[in-house]
């Protein structure tokens, strides 16, 4: 058996990017370094980097996830909390900040997800606003 294949909707207009990502588990298999944003798939040659502006997520209580930028040593961005079922909205542009960018060396720079503690019936919903360059 394998971890679920996520349902993904993406909309890119110029540098602006919106991703809606949803996965529902029917097994206990976790994901490891699965691309949520694949830079090589960006339109108009914007494949150099991601500026992560906002992440909204919701999970069921039995699963945890970590988002990282792919690098030689992956760069940690955020983790959900096991048993946390409230929606979480993180705005990385608050108070004039420009968002989060990869500062680690190497790798593709893709935004990846890794999960732990998956069980049948678990679900992760992500909505991500970003800019690509």
The Cα–Cα gap between 47 and 110 comes to 9
Per-residue pLDDT of the chain (133 residues; tens, 9 = 90+): 689 999 999 999 999 999 999 999 999 999 999 999 999 999 888 999 999 999 999 999 889 999 999 999 999 999 998 888 899 999 999 888 889 999 999 999 999 999 999 999 999 999 999 999 9
Residue 98 to residue 1: CA distance in whole angstroms: 41
Nearest to 70 by CA among 112, 10, 119, 11: 112
Beta bridge partners of 37: 111
At residue 39, the 3 state secondary structure works out as: helix
| All domains in the chain, ordered by first residue | 7-132 (2.60.120)
């Amino acid at each position: 058996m394998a971890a679920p294949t996520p349902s993904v909707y993406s909309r890119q207009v110029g540098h602006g990017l919106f991703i809606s990502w949803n996965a529902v588990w029917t097994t206990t298999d976790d994901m490891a370094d699965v691309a949520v944003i694949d830079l090589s798939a960006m339109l108009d040659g914007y494949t150099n980097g991601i500026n992560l502006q906002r992440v909204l997520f919701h999970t069921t209580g039995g699963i945890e996830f970590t988002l990282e930028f792919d690098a030689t040593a992956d760069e940690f961005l955020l983790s959900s909390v096991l048993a946390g079922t409230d929606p979480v909205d993180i705005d990385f542009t608050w108070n004039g900040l420009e968002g989060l960018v990869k500062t680690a060396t190497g790798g593709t720079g893709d935004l990846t997800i890794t999960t732990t503690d998956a069980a049948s019936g678990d679900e992760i919903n992500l909505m991500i606003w970003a800019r690509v360059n």
